[in-house]
A and B are shown apart, each in its own frame.
Chain A
C-alpha cells in the first residue's frame, strides 16, 4: 500500500509540471488549450527518440521544452494572427502533433528500458526508481514554481495576467495582447512537454497515445488543487496546483486499488471534472434549499 502511495506521489510530481502549464492557459489566460494533449506526447516523443539515439537525457528534456514551446507558438499564431478561435486552434495543433510525434519517434511507441534517463544519476547514488523520480520531480516542480512566481511578478508577467482578465483594458495600456497570449501559450506548452519528457523517462516508454485525455487530467488536478489547497496568494496558488496533481494521482491509485477497471479511468476522471466544473451551478441550485432550512431554524 505504501508503495502504491509513494508511486502515486512520485508520478504526481511529474504531472504537477503539466498541471502548472494547464493552469497558465486555463486560469491565467482564460483559454481552454487543447494543444497540451499533443505537446505532452511530443515531450515524451522527443525525450525517447533522443535517448535511444544516445543523447544526454537532460539535453533531450531541454529539447522537449523547446518542442513544446514551438507547439504553443503555433497555436498562438493560429489564434491571434489567423483569428481562429482558441479552442479550435488548440485542436488543430493537437491533431497536427499526432503526425509529427509519429515522425519524431519513427513508430508508435519506444521502450526506454535499461537506457540512461534523467533519473539514472540519482539511482546510481543508491535511490530506487520511485524515490529518484520523486526527488527529481519535486526539484523540478519547486524550481518551476519559484521561477513562475518571479516571472508573473514582472512587467511582462503582469501584462499576461491582465490579458486573461481584461484584454481590452490591456490594449488601452499599450500592450499587444496578441504577444501576451502567444507568450502564455509558449510557456504553458513548454512546461507540458517537459512534463511529458519526465513521465516517459519515469515509466520507461513513450507512446503516441500518451496525450489522450491529458487536458482533462490537467483540469482535474487544477480544480482539486484549488478546492482542497487553494489560497489567495499567488505562490500558494502555484503550490496548490502541485498538491492537486499529487492528490489526483493518489485518488486514481486508490480507486484502482479498490478494484475499478483501468479502462474506466477516463470516464471516472471526466465525471470528476464535470462535477467540479459545475460546482458553482450546483451551489446556486442548492442555495435556496439551504436558505429555506435556515429560515426554518
Chain B
C-alpha cells in the first residue's frame, strides 16, 4: 500500500547546521497494516511522515502509494489518498470555521472544488451520525466554531476528518502527545475504533512505548534517521517495554534517549 524506497533527507545541506534526518529508509506497509513508529528525539519520525505526505521533498529515493509513484507530487496532490493528524491540536482544523464546515472541507479531500454549495443537507446528517460515534456531544454543535473546542475534542474531530473519506494511508504524528493524561487514552481509543471500522492502513508515531506495544500489528523503531527495529506478528504481541529498551540498546549501541518516552 505504501512503499518507501531508499529515502534520504538532509536539512540545511552544506551549512554548519546540516542535519541528516532520514538515511536510506526502506519500508513497506501492506494493506491493513497498523504500524506504531517510535524513536528518540530527532530520530526522524516526523520527517518520515512529512516526506510521505509531501510536506518536504526527498533528496533521494521514491515514495509509492498504492502503486503510484508520488515522489514528485506536491502536498496537496497527495492529500486525496492520505489522512493526517498532527501533534498540535490547532494544526488539523480551521479554528474560525464551524465544525460542519471543517468536516465538509475534509469530505471533499482530493476532489476538485467547484461553485457548488459548500455543505449540503445530506452531508449534515452524515456528519451528525459520524460525530455521534465519538460520544463527545459534538453532534449538537455542528455550527459551533472549532476554536471553541478543547484540545481533545479538536483532535477527535481531526481524526474524523482524516478518515471521513477513507484514506489509503492514515498518518498520525504523536496526535495524543499534547493532550492531558485523561484525554489522551480516550482519543487513542477513538483512533483504534476508527482504524478498525474501516480497516485503515496506518502509521502512528508515538513517544509512549506502552502505547506503541499495545496498538497496531507492527512496531518500527527509528534512530538517527534509520529504521533499526521492525517487529511484527506474534513477536510484537509478546513484546514488553524492557524487551524494547534492550533491543534498542543492541541495535543502536546507545541508551534510549527520549525523555518523554521514559517518563510515561
Contacts and interface: CB of A to CB of B under 8 A. Distances in A.
The 7 residue pairs across chains A and B that have the minimum distance between CB atoms: A174-B79, A165-B94, A158-B118, A155-B113, A174-B110, A162-B94, A166-B94
Contact of B114 (A156, A171, A175): A156
B232 to A, nearest CB: 28
Contacts of B102: 162
Interface of B: 53, 74-77, 79-80, 82, 84, 86, 90-97, 101-102, 104-106, 108-111, 113-119, 161
Nearest to B158: A169
Q: Is the interface of A mostly helix, strand, loop or mixed?
A: helix
A195 interface: no
B80 A161 contact: no
A151 B111 CA distance: 18
Interface string A167-200: 0111111111100000000000000000000000
Given A154-B115, A154-B116, A155-B114, A172 B53 contact: yes
B106 A154 contact: no
Contact of A161 (B53, B97, B109, B117): B97
A157 interface: yes
Contacts of B115: 151, 154-156
A170 B91 CA distance: 10
Q: Is the interface of B mostly helix, strand, loop or mixed?
A: loop
B81 to A, nearest CB: 9
A168 B173 CA distance: 14
Contact of A174 (B77, B90, B97): B77
16 contacts: A151-B115, A156-B113, A158-B119, A162-B97, A162-B102, A162-B105, A165-B94, A165-B96, A165-B97, A166-B91, A169-B91, A169-B94, A170-B105, A174-B77, A175-B76, A176-B74
A118 to B, nearest CB: 28
A154 B101 CA distance: 11
B92 A172 contact: yes
Contacts of A175: 76, 79, 105, 113
B96 to A, nearest CB: 5
B118 A174 contact: no
Given A162-B94, A166-B95, A173 B109 contact: yes
Contacts of A173: 79, 105-106, 108-109, 161
A158 B98 CA distance: 11
Given A158-B118, A171-B76, A172-B53, A166 B113 contact: no
Given A171-B79, A173-B109, A174-B76, A158 B104 contact: yes
Contacts of B113: 154-156, 158-159, 175
A175 B105 CA distance: 9
Contact of B84 (A151, A166, A172): A172
A174 B91 contact: no
Given A170-B105, A172-B53, A174-B111, 12 more contacts: A155-B116, A155-B117, A156-B114, A156-B115, A158-B101, A158-B118, A162-B102, A162-B105, A166-B95, A172-B84, A173-B108, A174-B110
Given A165-B94, A166-B94, A166-B95, A174 B117 contact: no
A155 B102 CA distance: 11
A44 B133 CA distance: 56
Contacts of A165: 94-97
Nearest to B143: A232
A162 B105 CA distance: 9
A236 interface: no
Contacts of B110: 174
Nearest to A165: B94
Nearest to A177: B76
